[in-house]
Amino acid sequence: MPLTQGVLKVAPTAGETVWSLLGRTAARYGMTSTDLRAAWEWRNNPSRSPATSGVRADAEILLDPAGQALLAALCRTDPQTLQRALPAWAKGPAAFTSTSSLGRPQARWQSGAAAHGPVAYACRPCTARRTGQVVTAMRYREGWQRVCRRHQRWTLGAGDGHDLEYLDLRACPEIAAAQQQWPTVARRAAAAGVAPGAVFAVARAVVCQWWDLALEWSDERIWPARLHALAGGDAGEKFWWWRAVAREAALFPETLALAGALIDPAVTDMVWHDTGGPGTYRISPSNGQFDQELGRRLGRPWLAQAGATTDSTALNGWHGAVVRQRHGIGQPGDWGQDTWWIPRDHQPTSVTALLRTLTQRTDGTITWRATIPRPERSWINEKVREATDLLAGLDPHDTAPLSTATHQLIDTLNQAIATLDHAITGIASSAHTAGIPLHHLAQWTHLPTDELQQDIDDHQAHIEDQYGYRHRPPQA
């Protein structure tokens, strides 16, 4: 017989998803969520998690009025309380245009992101303290709301495609401390008539691009140490996995520091001064006032020399919009003057996509063309072509004198071998940058690991000197 009235009270937590509350309600009655779901008539099927084949943790449920009344009865909580606590609760009735032919309560699946916003795991100790249940719960949490200062935890995205719920911040107190900067940033943004979330989004886009560029910054010491600390002391062989999963937490202090700078009128004045001020326009000088200020605020005085302020397309977009706005180029509200507009190409790759690409590399399903950037592929192809041409020109039937023919044949073969050696190093360098472990490459090239690493370093330095680009980690 379907349940119609609960006997146990299940209190919601602020910002919780309806799917999370339904799961906790089922657990309170000693049931599975699948058992309890039978009490509703479902209009569609849920999205499944590729890892577990179960319902995605960041899923959401929309309920019609009868469905809401049933859940409220099972929780023994009045609907008004649920409406205040559950962000998607009020959106349920509008999702249904007809009543059930069977007269049963109705429900519809939707992604949490589409219903309200990003979904993260709730802090378990906090959930236990508030509800009396030591279970998994999900809440809508923005990027600046992931720190639990009480328990020194960073709550991770519920739909990111991994099984971790949180990161331990006890070895990285600066991440929890950075949370205190957010109210100031939000207040300044609101005073300027800007949505605080838009400021955070631009800062996050810039810092995530720096995260990728920083693999080549010889002066960067903070992020590698912080990443290993978040991984429990050493990321080890799962370095690339941890680099994806812990990215948002590792970058949080710098994201808030940059957000504070971007919303500061004094900083935009520096951009205006660097580009010539009123009546003129010039390219911002290297290491100008703006560059120096960013380096100071982020504790990296070498930031401009590393190329951070010129290589980030997201920062260039913000910088250009500031200049166009001051010069009156474009219409107010147009994207050309909107300092907080982020083109799709500038937005960070999601953790889900990063992990999916990493899995494809691990199991060998990702292609060379999709992984290796075009300049690297073109350079390798050119070396192979040069070697092929040299070998095609060999003539073992040469009628020249013995010493002359021998010298020419050996010299040509040596040139071809040297060219192919360069190609092998280029291939190994590109593959290593794309995530193939060095010890695998050492086995394939039959070179000692340290010798291969030196060859790769020399090759990348040569490429940068000759062609003006370096091998960069590919974007998922």
Domain check: are 346 and 460 in the same one? Answer: no
pLDDT at residue 193 is higher than 60: yes
Q: What share of the chain is helix, strand, coil (3-state, %, to 5)?
A: 55, 5, 40
Q: What is the pLDDT of residue 279?
A: 62
Query: Does residue 153 lie within any of the structural domains?
Result: no
User: Which one of 141, 167, 200 terminates a domain?
Assistant: 141
Domain check: are 347 and 374 in the same one? Answer: no
Q: What is the pLDDT of residues 248-270, one digit of tens each?
A: 999 999 999 999 999 999 999 99
Domain check: are 211 and 274 in the same one? Answer: yes
Query: Does residue 3 lie within any of the structural domains?
Result: no
Domain check: are 375 and 344 in the same one? Answer: no
**How many domains would you assign to the chain?**
3
Handedness of CA 381, 384, 388, 390 (dihedral sign): positive
Who wins on pLDDT, 286 or 424?
424
List the one residue out of 65, 67, 60 whose CA is nearest residue 40.
67
Domain check: are 371 and 347 in the same one? Answer: no
Query: Does residue 390 lie within any of the structural domains?
Result: yes
Query: Does residue 164 lie within any of the structural domains?
Result: no
Q: What is the pLDDT of residue 474?
A: 45
Q: What is the pLDDT of residues 365-417, one digit of tens each?
A: 667 777 787 888 888 999 999 999 999 888 888 888 888 889 989 999 999 99
Q: What is the pLDDT of residues 199-232, one digit of tens each?
A: 999 999 999 999 999 988 989 999 999 999 999 9
129 vs 126, 133, 134, 341, 459, CA distance in Å? 5, 8, 9, 40, 56
Assign 20 a pLDDT band (cuts: 50, 70, 90).
very high
Across 128-132, 141-145, 273-277, least confident range? 273-277
Output the average pLDDT for the chain: 89
Distance CA 471, CA 429 (A): 8
The pTM of this model reads 0.78
For residue 147, give the 3-state DSSP assignment. strand
Across 125-139, 329-343, 422-436, least confident range? 329-343
Domain check: are 310 and 439 in the same one? Answer: no
Domain check: are 373 and 344 in the same one? Answer: no
Where does residue 205 rank: exposed (0-12), middle (13-18), buried (19+ CB within 10 A)? buried
Q: What is the pLDDT of residue 475?
A: 43
Distance CA 29, CA 10 (A): 10
Query: Does residue 163 lie within any of the structural domains?
Result: no
User: Which one of 319, 352, 385 terminates a domain?
Assistant: 352
For residue 149, give the 3-state DSSP assignment. coil
Domain check: are 207 and 336 in the same one? Answer: yes
Q: Which residues contact 464 (CB under 8 A, 6 or more apart)?
A: 470
Domain check: are 234 and 347 in the same one? Answer: yes
Percent of the chain with pLDDT over 90: 64
Query: Does residue 161 lie within any of the structural domains?
Result: no
User: Which one of 141, 158, 174 terminates a domain?
Assistant: 141
pLDDT at residue 440 is higher than 90: no
Domain check: are 391 and 348 in the same one? Answer: no
Domain check: are 299 and 267 in the same one? Answer: yes
Which residues constitute the domain of residue 47?
Answer: 18-141
Q: What is the pLDDT of residue 179?
A: 93
Stretch 440-455: mean pLDDT:
91
Domain check: are 204 and 302 in the same one? Answer: yes
Q: What is the pLDDT of residue 324?
A: 86
Distance CA 69, CA 63 (A): 9
Q: What is the pLDDT of residue 476?
A: 41
Query: Does residue 168 lie within any of the structural domains?
Result: no
Query: Does residue 155 lie within any of the structural domains?
Result: no
Distance CA 101, CA 41 (A): 10
